[in-house]
Structure 1
Amino acid sequence: MELSQYIRRKTREVPVGPVVIGGGRPVAVQSMTNTDTNDTAASVAQIERIADAGCSVVRLTTQGRREAENLGPIVARLRADGYDTAVVADVHFLPDVALTAASYADKVRINPGNYADRDGAFEKLIARCRERGVALRIGVNHGSLARRIVDEWGDTPRGMVVSAMEFLRRCRELDFDRVVVSMKSSNTRVMVAAYRLLADEMAREGMDYPLHLGVTEAGSGLEGRIKSAVGIGALLADGIGDTIRVSLTEAPEREIPVARLLADHFAERPGRFPVRHPERFSPYEFRRRSAVQVPLTRSELPADMPVLEACSKNPTAELRAALLDLEPGCPAAVSCRYCESSLETLAVKAAADLGPLFLDGLADGIRIVAPQFGEGELEEVERMILQAARVRFSRTEYIACPGCGRTLYDLEGTLARIKERTGHLKNLRIGVMGCIVNGPGEMADADYGYVGAAPGRITLYKGRTVVERNIPQHEAIDRLEALIRANGDWTDAPARAESPDDGTAAEPQNAAQ
């Protein structure tokens, strides 16, 4: 990593249909439909709304052969309507489905865990992609590594890199280079470490494939935007990333303004900030720079803690260099000034600029300067940034997928109802997942899970263990509350005047992990 200045990682160009990713081009923005891929009209209409919002690459779930075959009519309708949006097939389990999808899509995303055996399926897919000029995304997910990888490496960033590199080497053996790689996790610390490790490993082996960035299951609202900005921003600040997706449990077109904001925010990062002690920086594992275990927000900063305020247009590198120059163990807070009129825009930029400094264990306090907003509003944003960086938990964390054509219920509405019921709880992680494809794996860090099992049916988890299967959906939230109560993790909501949302939340505990 180049700590002292912003330098984009050099990558090859990879054509994805009409769109080109990598090669120093501007960061491309992606999203994913949540329509039934068999419904041509609904899928096309949603892709066009996403494209009109400023997105150039759209992915559709292709969980079976019917969905893969229907990509043909979808692409034909899009082109007839004058849209040159790149269409990506998302394949999770079945190699034969990926082979079918490669006959119609511009890119096929596969999970390496489904190609563990050398039975020729991967080679067949590469041959089909080469024949049509189709790109391939090697999509490694933290929660769905192959069993043999987990047995040897655990579900760790290193295990994710081992999985990706195995297939990148196979692509190189086959002389196939239309490849993009992703290393997604709902845990920002795991996600950032995995991408950094992969970038280094690829450099050692002379590989220059573009990287697609994203935090999976980020949730909704301001919290989901901040969580995505912390993870994606940390990597964009490192010069890593050629295409991004902000995954929100909302209508997919609502993801695009956030992704565009992040891409534009890192389009230029001027300045050089000498780092005299690079040995103090630990990019692959979390290590606190000082003895302060719980980073502080604006109202908690002691008078004797130095506050370092960024003055440049590259606040991450500027503040990182200043923090690494301090004597070891010397605590310091970081600050940056913003003149945004939108709280959402302010939150995304501050999370992207300052969040990485907490993600890497460097900063001990945060103070956002924005006179146009109230102290309470700014403190809430600061708390959300610390939580997204996994250094301080002050509210329930929701690991919620954005939904796709596999989703088996009203995900957005259900998440809102679960938040209303459980939002007052402290230091809990609740997974809200549309189906079992990513559900059990991606919510592996969650204390409780609510997962679509069949139309109108929900399965509840305690950790990774199934507790109740196929509950009628109209009973499921009540049963989730009962499960939390039975395990001693429930507290009744405080009186409204003492709600966490009004700035009087109880002191949160440290949850750095």
Structure 2
Amino acid sequence: MNPADELLTGKVNFCDSLTQYKRRKTREVYVGDVPMGGDNPIRVQSMTTVDTMDTQGSVEQVLRMVESGCEYVRITAPSIKEAENLREIKSELSKRGCFVPLVADIHFTPNAAELAATIVEKVRVNPGNYADKKRFEEIEYTDETYNAELHRIREKFTPLVEICKEYGTAMRIGTNHGSLSDRIMSRYGDTPLGMVESALEFIRICEELEYFDIVISMKSSNPQVMVQAYRLLVQKLDEEGLQPYPLHLGVTEAGEAEDGRIKSALGIGVLLEDGLGDTVRVSLTEAPEVEAPVGQILVDRLVGRQGHAPIANCDFSVYHPYEYQKRQTDEVINFGGGNVPRVIADFSDIESVEMKDLKAIGHFYLPELDKWTMNDLGCDYIYTGTRPIPFMLPNGLKEILDYNTWLTVNSDANKYPLITVNEIDKPIDSKCIFIQLSTTKLTPSVIEKIRQMTNAVLILKTNNQHAYADLRQSFVGLVNAGVSIPVVIERSFPYLNADAMMMYPATDIGGLLIDGFGDGALLSMAQVKGDRSERLAKAKLYNSTVFGILQAARTRITKTEYISCPSCGRTLFDLQETTAMIRKRTDHLKGVKIGIMGCIVNGPGEMADADYGYVGSGKGKITLYKGKEVMKRGVPSARALDELIELIKEDGKWTEPQAVL
């Protein structure tokens, strides 16, 4: 059997239940005096950005990180000298009364890992570059030559394992999607299975040597790949009878601000919902002390989750958690079929809507030209409930009204009725009917009625605390029943702060999208408080959040994507400042992916599927990539951005920015 085909075999057993929240029981691993896994809380951690040789700077930053909620702190050790200086950092922290467990981050340098393992509480090694070199070469292996490579890896890795056993040091075996070795890529391809096998090779060696203080991660800048890899990892550990090791969750190079939070929540949050994960790290291109509170938002959401309302079980054999398979739907207007997911904005609670108000949802009226225009975040539909828009809408924007209100305006072809389950039997003459109902109303009789409708779009919502699982079960039930109408996912979050308001729907809606479910999204404003201006501001946040979720799930690309690392002691330039500078010049390039990496460790590998890369290669020097190919080396940072733009122009992907609306 081709190894990649294994993705499609075996039962779904990556979590204890697809309908009931239950955290996966893992092996307890002590990291210093702070254990993870087992019955311990989900731990939150982050990584320093100060040069590891700057002892005092590192100590001060660690103290700030611990104050912000970090329970473990990771510090890069790219060579022997940095590994040795971990001793000084640890000593200074002890003098300051701080005993947070330290984790040494290792790439390429086994001797640094072996030294660090005698000093700190945990070491992180990357299977892709600990014993292998990456040259982006395709290599033909026989079973004999492949096994010889595994023997070589064992010889190189065993000394570290023995040191960790002797010193009681924990280890994270951390696979990164972008740094899979040429050997793994040649046999398994650029796949979640390749990521899993990369880690399993090292785990098998550890178990043969009777070393079990292991934590595992499967990181990717693409949340879909990341989620699939973790799910597959758990299944493979179970199939091989290996220990149920704790999982370290993270979306690598998530980026900054809204994009970083949404992408992180989509990947980490989905796994947490299914009970996977024992420690989390949110990788933001921001100060490291910002990361722990953001990660804590996702962890805190699970408090009390075990008491959620019951969710009926169903036949999940049609569910594909290890690969993307979009639910097949019929096209209704521009929903479903081959269309991208549609965005519905909720203006039902905003009185006396004026033309200028629509700028909150990406539509702009230009009075001097007496015309409408829109930006890349212009929504597709606007739900107004019982308050019809009193002016002609811009071309392309359509309105949804409650049924009884729609009856008064149904001569307008761009207005559509929304009905409830109680109105489903009414004869309605409309090209499209929106049916809004809760998952609890999806009874067999209702499902049979909507199955026979050819002009309906279902707007599906839930009040269950375990929302992602409840909605997933409903989608699977619709597939099992042969229902092919498009489905819009509706969520409501009335009382959240700005970060949580981006992250909760990213988990619930984004998770379904990467599972192949959902033809649109609606964030309800029904319970939003505040005056008119506050509700418009919230409508703007909701609209940009939905588009951000679609982008992170790779289901609708509307803006430039930045794959930027969170910085560390290896970084060769100010990542936050540089990312902001690059974003300012390029954020109009819809669909272009730009990797911004602080050093060569996070260079051509970690940015994985970026179209272009901007990578630190020395003090004041930048290497520019096109895909994984080096285009220019040693470019002075003062002109590197201009030369990056020239590369984009040479490929015909550059457009001039339009005036900001």
The TM-score range, normalised by the shorter chain, is over 0.9
- Tell which deviates more after alignment, 48-57 or 304-313: 304-313
Query: By how many angstroms is 1:246 displaced?
Result: 0.3
Question: Conserved in 1, the CA contact under 8 Å of 2:177 and 2:608?
Answer: no
Aligned to 2:327: 289
2: CA distance, partners of 1:267 / 1:198: 25
2: CA distance, partners of 1:329 / 1:57: 47
SS in 1 for 2:484: coil
Question: Conserved in 2, the CA contact under 8 Å of 1:461 and 1:468?
Answer: yes
Q: Which amino acid aligns with 2:628?
A: R
Q: Which amino acid aligns with 1:180?
A: V
Question: Conserved in 2, the CA contact under 8 Å of 1:11 and 1:23?
Answer: yes
What are the within-5 Å matches in structure 2 for residues 452-471 of structure 1?
452-471=616-635
What are the within-5 Å matches in structure 2 for residues 104-143 of structure 1?
104-113=119-128, 114-115=130-131, 117-118=152-153, 120-143=155-178
1: CA distance, partners of 2:299 / 2:97: 25
Question: Conserved in 1, the CA contact under 8 Å of 2:154 and 2:205?
Answer: no
Q: Which amino acid aligns with 2:640?
A: A
SS in 2 for 1:219: coil
Q: Which amino acid aligns with 1:407?
A: T
1: CA distance, partners of 2:282 / 2:251: 7
Question: Conserved in 2, the CA contact under 8 Å of 1:401 and 1:434?
Answer: yes
Question: Conserved in 1, the CA contact under 8 Å of 2:72 and 2:102?
Answer: yes
1: CA distance, partners of 2:226 / 2:488: 25
Question: Conserved in 2, the CA contact under 8 Å of 1:290 and 1:328?
Answer: no
2: CA distance, partners of 1:377 / 1:108: 40
Query: By how many angstroms is 1:86 displaced?
Result: 1.1
Q: Which amino acid aligns with 1:385?
A: I
Matched, 1:279 2:317: yes
What are the within-5 Å matches in structure 2 for residues 403-422 of structure 1?
403-422=567-586
Matched, 1:253 2:289: yes
Q: Which amino acid aligns with 2:300?
A: D
Aligned to 2:217: 182
Q: Which amino acid aligns with 1:320?
A: R
Query: By how many angstroms is 1:122 displaced?
Result: 1.7
Aligned to 1:380: 544
66, 71, 76: which one pairs with 1:51? Answer: 66
2: CA distance, partners of 1:329 / 1:464: 40
What are the within-5 Å matches in structure 2 for residues 389-408 of structure 1?
389-408=553-572
1: CA distance, partners of 2:654 / 2:127: 39
Matched, 1:473 2:637: yes
- Tell which deviates more after alignment, 367-376 or 330-339: 367-376
98, 101, 107: which one pairs with 1:83? Answer: 98
SS in 1 for 2:166: helix
Aligned to 2:188: 153
Query: By how many angstroms is 1:271 displaced?
Result: 3.0
Q: Which amino acid aligns with 1:267?
A: V
Q: Which amino acid aligns with 2:225?
A: V
Question: Conserved in 2, the CA contact under 8 Å of 1:15 and 1:178?
Answer: yes
2: CA distance, partners of 1:349 / 1:285: 23
2: CA distance, partners of 1:32 / 1:249: 11
2: CA distance, partners of 1:429 / 1:56: 33
Q: Which amino acid aligns with 2:184?
A: I
2: CA distance, partners of 1:268 / 1:241: 17
Query: By how many angstroms is 1:10 displaced?
Result: 1.0
- Tell which deviates more after alignment, 17-26 or 398-407: 17-26
Give TM-score scaled by structure 1 length: 0.94
2: CA distance, partners of 1:361 / 1:398: 24
Aligned to 1:354: 509
Matched, 1:305 2:444: no
2: CA distance, partners of 1:209 / 1:444: 26
Matched, 1:323 2:338: no
Give TM-score scaled by structure 2 length: 0.74
Aligned-CA RMSD value: 1.4
SS in 1 for 2:655: coil
2: CA distance, partners of 1:160 / 1:456: 33
The number of residue pairs the alignment matches comes to 497
426, 431, 452: which one pairs with 2:595? Answer: 431
Q: Which amino acid aligns with 1:279?
A: S
- Tell which deviates more after alignment, 275-284 or 59-68: 275-284
Query: By how many angstroms is 1:321 displaced?
Result: 1.2
Q: Which amino acid aligns with 2:253?
A: E
Query: By how many angstroms is 1:329 displaced?
Result: 2.6
2: CA distance, partners of 1:58 / 1:463: 32
262, 282, 285: which one pairs with 2:298? Answer: 262
1: CA distance, partners of 2:212 / 2:226: 24
User: Which whole-Å deviations, capped at 9, do the CAs of 1:234-261 have from their partners, x for residues lacking one?
Assistant: 1111111000100000110111111000
User: Which whole-Å deviations, capped at 9, do the CAs of 1:320-369 have from their partners, x for residues lacking one?
Assistant: 11111113433211112112352222111111222101111111111112
Query: By how many angstroms is 1:25 displaced?
Result: 1.5
2: CA distance, partners of 1:409 / 1:395: 25
1: CA distance, partners of 2:578 / 2:501: 28
Query: By how many angstroms is 1:84 displaced?
Result: 2.3
Question: Conserved in 1, the CA contact under 8 Å of 2:262 and 2:552?
Answer: yes
Which has the higher Rg, Structure 1 or Structure 2?
Answer: 2
2: CA distance, partners of 1:118 / 1:308: 51
Aligned to 1:240: 276
Q: Which amino acid aligns with 1:296?
A: R
2: CA distance, partners of 1:57 / 1:356: 27
**What percentage of aligned pairs have identical amino acids?**
47
